[in-house]
Amino acid sequence: MFRKADPILEAKNVSRVFPASGGRRLYANSDVNLTLYRGRTLGIAGESGCGKSTMARMLAQLDKPTKGEIRFKGKDITHLRGEALRQTRRHIQMVFQDPAAAFSPKMKVKDILCEPLLNFGIISKKETEAAAVRLLEMVELPGDFSHRYAHSMSGGQRQRVGIARALALEPEILICDEATSALDVSVQRNIIDLLVKLQQERNLTIAFICHDVSLVRSMSHQIAIMYLGHVVELIPGKLVGKCAMHPYTQVLINAIFSLNMDFSKPIQSVDSDAPSPLDLPAGCPFQNRCGHCMKICRETKPVLRETAPGHQIACHLYR
């Protein structure tokens, strides 16, 4: 069962529109509602181009919605600027896919890690060595890495440094955008184990954005499935292979879990945590659980309807 904690970061009816060729408008996100709960992980999955990174950037205050609100601990932070924005951002930090691209090749790890601490006046120059060693220990790297440069570390080690830098200011929220996607499978596992450990130690709230549902599932308390800029289903993490209802979610899952799960059976409760089957009205596109529904998704705005605690599904008839 997915148990809600305090909401800490919320996207409310958020849309992000970009100008496209021929004077058209591209809706990267359309009326998205998402809630991050304190100490929990929200996974965000979906195919390339569905709007995950755009959403991540808005949650991390690196981009502004065209419409809608971002709320942090209940306060609207959508339009913050200047010092107020800087102070809020320190609580919401981001880990990117390729930390090497974000690190200056001329900076030692020590300087990379301590830059945010110096910027906020939390430590003095004299204290950087000790602070760097402490941060390296937190991500299980030896202290002498503080004198290395980004190019002299493996991808996994660089990502550990990326996580340590993101956690330097002791944020409450970590937004991980494809943070493990560039790594080997075994290294991905290590980084996920590290994130889970840090979450438990610090009651950290995490948004884990990834195109790979199986990876998202391995660490998420709840998973939002995005399709063409919309959230089409929100599922308790461990139930994603068992009770996903939206046809698009099933397409994503079938691509991954086809070896050990039987999706030919009708969708129904498979354990005590699973929601009851939907009681869908006649004519609802989800009665016909097939690819046709996706066409409908392109043309209409899905509205999420709660079917069980932590489980919502987009239904086009509920507006």
Residues in the interface with ligand ATP (CB under 6 A) total 12
By the rule CB under 6 A, 50 interacts with ligand ATP = yes
Structure-block tokens of residue 224: 């939002």
Give which of 259, 182, 180 is closest to 220, Cα–Cα: 180
Type of residue numbered 170: E
- Closer CB to ligand ATP, residue 228 or residue 235? 228
Q: Show the site string, 247-286: x = touches ligand ATP by CB under 6 A, - = not.
A: ----------------------------------------
Number of Cβ atoms within 10 Å of the Cβ of 118 = 16
- Closer CB to ligand ATP, residue 26 or residue 169? 26
- Specify whether the CB–CB gap between 301 and 317 falls below 8 A: no
By the rule CB under 6 A, 211 interacts with ligand ATP = yes
- Within 9-38, the residues that bind ligand ATP by CB under 6 A are 18, 26, 28
The one segment of 41-49, 88-96, 115-123, 303-311 that binds ligand ATP by CB under 6 A = 41-49
Least separation in angstroms between residue 178's CB and ligand ATP is: 6
Least separation in angstroms between residue 133's CB and ligand ATP is: 34
By the rule CB under 6 A, 53 interacts with ligand ATP = yes
Question: CA 175 to CA 47: how far, in whole Å?
Answer: 18
Cite the DSSP H helix spans in 151-244.
Answer: 155-167, 185-202, 213-219, 240-243
The one segment of 50-58, 106-114, 155-163, 195-203 that binds ligand ATP by CB under 6 A = 50-58
Question: CA 28 to CA 79: how far, in whole Å?
Answer: 19
Least separation in angstroms between residue 214's CB and ligand ATP is: 16
Q: How far is CA 144 from CA 16, 138, 148, in A?
A: 43, 14, 8
- Closer CB to ligand ATP, residue 54 or residue 250? 54
- Within 169-208, the residues that bind ligand ATP by CB under 6 A are none
Question: CA 178 to CA 166: how far, in whole Å?
Answer: 15
Question: CA 234 to CA 229: how far, in whole Å?
Answer: 14
Question: CA 177 to CA 154: how far, in whole Å?
Answer: 19
Binding site for ligand ATP (CB under 6 A): 18, 26, 28, 46, 48-54, 211
